[in-house]
Structure 1
Amino acid sequence: METKQVQNYHIDLARLKALRIRAGLTQNQVSRILGYKSTLGYHYIESGRCRLRADQLLTLAQLYGVSIDSLIISNEAADHAQQSVS
């Protein structure tokens, strides 16, 4: 079995939010699906203050019917996006 080490990645937060909205879900609903007791837990993820755990990433990909790869962007792309905002 081949394993792939993923160290330097970022979640595409804009896509994550867009998928949630397209699915007609609130942050509170997604928080509950991920096991949080309040909206704040997921809000921190979607705003970039906290990172998703691997199991949460899998849950969201399944919830939205997308691949995990489609939610991940490389460091280079993330750096480029950060520079575009600055």
Structure 2
Amino acid sequence: MTSVKASHRISVLGKEITVKSAASSEHVREVEALVNRTIAEAQASVPVVGDPNVPVIIALMNLAESCLSLSRELDECKHSGNAGIQHLIQRIDNTLP
């Protein structure tokens, strides 16, 4: 089953582009806002240099770091949940005749 992808107009770094996504318009706007906010934070954190790509690279690195951290946290939660379930199963097995 394939998802229907709709076209969405977004603006990043002052450039208007069209992206296709199966996500809702609201979700696409949230992503657009996050990207713009992260780029603005990166632009404010680095001295003005001749290369306009530097803040974009820093923004991408910050987003990637957040993504990896959350992915690791999710893996830990899954592992912890599985361990808890196994412990409960063992307790139930030990209780049953």
In proportion to residue count, which structure has more strand?
2
- Structure with bigger gyration radius: 2
Where relative contact order (Cα < 8 A, 6+ residues apart) is larger, the structure is 1
In proportion to residue count, which structure has more helix?
2
Q: Which category of TM-score, normalised to the shorter sequence, fits these structures?
A: under 0.3
Under a length normalisation based on structure 1, what TM-score does the superposition of the two structures give? 0.25
Under a length normalisation based on structure 2, what TM-score does the superposition of the two structures give? 0.23
